[in-house]
Amino acid sequence: MARTIAARSALFACLAGLFAWACAAAGERDAARERVDTIAAEWLERSVARDPIGASLRGLGGASRWPDPRPATVRASMREDRSMLRALGRVDAALLDPERRRTVALLVRELEQRADWYGHERHLLPALHGHGVHAPQAVASELRFTRADDYNAWLARLEALPDWLAATREQLRRGVRRGVLLPRPLARQLPAAVRAQLVDDPRDSPLYTPFASLPAALPESERERLSATAAALIEREIVPAYRDFHAFLVETYLPEIPAGVGLGGDDGDGDARYAALLAHHTGSDLDADALLERAHAELERETDALAELLADEFGVDDDALSWLQHQRAPGRAPVVPAAALTDAWRAATRRLDVLLPAEFMPLPRLPYGVTPAVDGPPVRYLPPTFGGRDAGLLLVRADAARPAHEIAAGAAAHGMPGLHLRHARVLELESLPRFRRALAVTAFDDGWAAYAVTLAARLGAFTDPHAAAGAHEAALLRAAAAVADIGLHARGWRREQAVEFLLAHSARGEAELIATVDRLIEWPGRAVGYIIGLETLRGLREQAEARLGTAFDPAGFHDALLGAGPLPPPLLEARMDTWLRERAAAPLSDPSSRTNPQ
513 and 366 in a single domain? The answer is yes
Residue 14 has pLDDT above 90, yes or no: no
Instruction: End-to-end CA distance of the chain: give it in Å, rounded.
Output: 51
Residue 129 has pLDDT above 50, yes or no: yes
369 and 482 in a single domain? The answer is yes
Question: Which one, of 414, 526, 538, 407, lies nearest residue 478 by Cα?
Answer: 526
Per residue in 215-264, pLDDT (tens digit) is: 999 999 999 999 999 999 999 999 999 999 999 999 999 999 988 787 75
Contact in structure between 470 and 442 (CB atoms under 8 Å): no
Per residue in 299-310, pLDDT (tens digit) is: 999 999 999 999
Residue 597 has pLDDT above 90, yes or no: no
Cα separation, 186 vs 190, in Å, equals 7
238 and 361 in a single domain? The answer is no
Does residue 541 form part of some domain?
Answer: no
Residue 153 has pLDDT above 70, yes or no: yes
Does residue 595 form part of some domain?
Answer: no
Question: Which one, of 515, 494, 497, lies nearest residue 189 by Cα?
Answer: 515
Does residue 463 form part of some domain?
Answer: yes
Per the structure, the count of domains in the chain is 3
Last residue of a domain, one of 217, 232, 259: 259
318 and 417 in a single domain? The answer is yes
Residue 21 has pLDDT above 50, yes or no: no
383 and 482 in a single domain? The answer is yes
Question: Which one, of 139, 146, 144, lies nearest residue 160 by Cα?
Answer: 139
- pLDDT computed for residue 595 by the predictor: 53
198 and 340 in a single domain? The answer is no
Contact in structure between 262 and 490 (CB atoms under 8 Å): yes
Using CA atoms, how far residue 402 sits from 99, 289, 310, 329, 359, in Å, is 45, 36, 21, 12, 30
pTM of the model: 0.91
Give DSSP secondary structure letters for 528-571: HHHHHHHHHHHHHHHHHHHHHGGG--HHHHHHHHHTT-S--HHH
250 and 365 in a single domain? The answer is no
Does residue 133 form part of some domain?
Answer: no
The stretch 291-296 carries a mean pLDDT of 97
Does residue 358 form part of some domain?
Answer: yes
Q: What whole-number percentage of the chain has pLDDT above 70? A: 92
Strands (E), 253-411: 335-336, 368-373, 379-382, 392-397, 402-403
- pLDDT computed for residue 7 by the predictor: 57
Last residue of a domain, one of 531, 548, 578: 531
Does residue 568 form part of some domain?
Answer: no
- pLDDT computed for residue 376 by the predictor: 80
Contact in structure between 404 and 343 (CB atoms under 8 Å): no
The stretch 520-530 carries a mean pLDDT of 94
Residue 12 has pLDDT above 70, yes or no: no
The stretch 430-457 carries a mean pLDDT of 96
- pLDDT computed for residue 432 by the predictor: 95
Per residue in 69-122, pLDDT (tens digit) is: 999 999 999 999 999 999 999 999 999 999 999 999 999 999 999 998 898 888
Give DSSP secondary structure letters for 170-225: HHHHHHHHHT----HHHHTTHHHHHHTT--SSGGGSGGGGGGTT--TTS-HHHHHH
| Tally of CB atoms within 10 A around 111 | 17
23 and 87 in a single domain? The answer is yes
473 and 397 in a single domain? The answer is yes
Cα separation, 323 vs 507, in Å, equals 9
| Tally of CB atoms within 10 A around 70 | 15
Per residue in 365-416, pLDDT (tens digit) is: 999 999 998 778 889 999 999 988 899 999 999 988 888 999 999 999 999 9
439 and 394 in a single domain? The answer is yes
Last residue of a domain, one of 531, 557, 575: 531
360 and 218 in a single domain? The answer is no
Does residue 591 form part of some domain?
Answer: no
Contact in structure between 144 and 47 (CB atoms under 8 Å): no
Range(s) of the domain holding residue 215: 149-162+180-259
Does residue 488 form part of some domain?
Answer: yes
Out of 18-27, 265-274, 576-585, the most confident range is 576-585
220 and 316 in a single domain? The answer is no
